[in-house]
Amino acid sequence: MHPLTGSIKRYDWGSHDAIPAILGLPDDGRPLAEYWLGAHPNDPSLIDGAVRLDTAIEQHPRMVGDSARLEFEGRLPYLMKLLSAGRPLSLQAHPNRIDAQSGFDQENHNQIPMDAPERTFKDPWDKPELIVAITQFDALAGFRDPDTTAELFSQLGLNPASEQIFAPLRNRGGRAGLAEVFMNCLVTDDDRKAAVTDVVAAAINHVDDEDDLGEFARTAVLLDEHFPGDPSLLAALLLNRHTLQPGEGLYLQPGTLHSYLHGTGVEVMGNSDNVLRGGLTSKHIDPAALTLVVRFTTEPIPPMLPEQEMPGLWRYPTDERAFACWRLELKPGRMVELPGELSGRILLATQGEIGASQGLDGLVLKQGQAAFLEAGCQVQVSGDGQGFLVATGMDA
């Protein structure tokens, strides 16, 4: 067992106080968006306060377990984060394994530098992700049924020119209609800008409605506050809005368009840097890659509720190969044996204290502290607190 120190990320969309409160840091008035725990090459965690985790894994590959060595080229296949959004993130999606490899190879062939603004695929890996709410957490994810979305726009009472932009949702429907409207909303021209003004002005009249139209209107107004006049706001309104309560998860498979709006949670994802932005951003947007990667389907994405494996231990049933995630709820006098011992694991205390023991060795994690548990290490935990455990999914 090794104490693990993560990396702080200060993106402008972060909140100011949530992560500092968990980590025991002062609120210095600057946004703190993410706290990374893992071996991502851009900013790996430190084990024992001194050694980069990716370097330690290179020197001692058995730390991560046989599954990571054989299927994931010796990499720790997941990244764990504390994430706190004070305002909406960009509209984005992540590729599956096949699309990631294809896009990565093509951009290498085209000799696009890794640090170029127009570079889309940074590595050949997929990036599924799971967000588990610590506070109430609001997100947009997955496309709403096209007929329902068309009806919501109509109920706002738009002018005919604006209505015409969304007509393919009714006329063509399905994947084709969604794709056409989505891509059209990424075009910045006077017609789209006028439609944004029309939609937001109409939405203001419905923000107090206690129905689906009210939620739709409040989403439009919220996005306009942060991205005024941005036509991609219209694309974001094609998505379902989700409100998670603490402990609930949202599992996003590759290709799922999404944006986190507000709240704090623990995020677990494939260890990849592939992000395809689809709006609400000043960064590069690659329409061709989006068309390839984004899944223009309308399957519902219900909140993911954890399944209890034993008293004090709940698993989020993602069935991912790259990661598995559990929530710990420990009470005094209760001992829990941690699963996933064939994998290198990360244990994070988010509330109270967690005592971890391996034979004669012991480690106490206070709120905000984490540890890396090597593969083959049988660990029991006790204490009075809450935490999260992540392992390679194939070993769960």
For residue 214, pLDDT over 80 is answered with: yes
Average pLDDT of the segment spanning 141-149: 96
What's the pLDDT at 69? 92
* The predicted structure's pLDDT at residue 378: 95
| Mean pLDDT of all residues in 223-227 | 96
The pLDDT assigned to 229 comes to: 92
Burial of residue 317, with CB atoms counted within 10 A of its CB: 0-12 exposed, 13-18 middle, 19 or more buried? middle
Q: CA-CA distance, 56 to 63, in Å (whole number)?
A: 8
**198 pLDDT exceeds 80?**
yes
pLDDT tens readout for residues 57-74:
999 999 999 999 999 999
The half-sphere exposure of 334 on its side-chain side, counting CA atoms within 13 A, is 15
| Residues annotated as part of the active site | 277
The pLDDT tens digits for 95-117 are 999 999 999 999 999 999 998 98
Region of 179 on the Ramachandran plot (φ > 0 left; ψ -120 to 50 alpha; else beta):
alpha
Q: What is the DSSP code (8-state) at residue 19? A: H
Q: Does residue 360 surpass a pLDDT of 80?
A: no
266-289 residue pLDDT tens: 999 999 999 999 999 988 888 888
Q: Can you give the pLDDT at residue 396?
A: 82
**pLDDT category of residue 218 using cuts at 50, 70 and 90:** very high
Mean pLDDT of 86-96: 96
pTM: 0.95
Q: What fold is seen in the domain 307-395?
A: Jelly Rolls (2.60.120)
Mean pLDDT of 161-185: 90
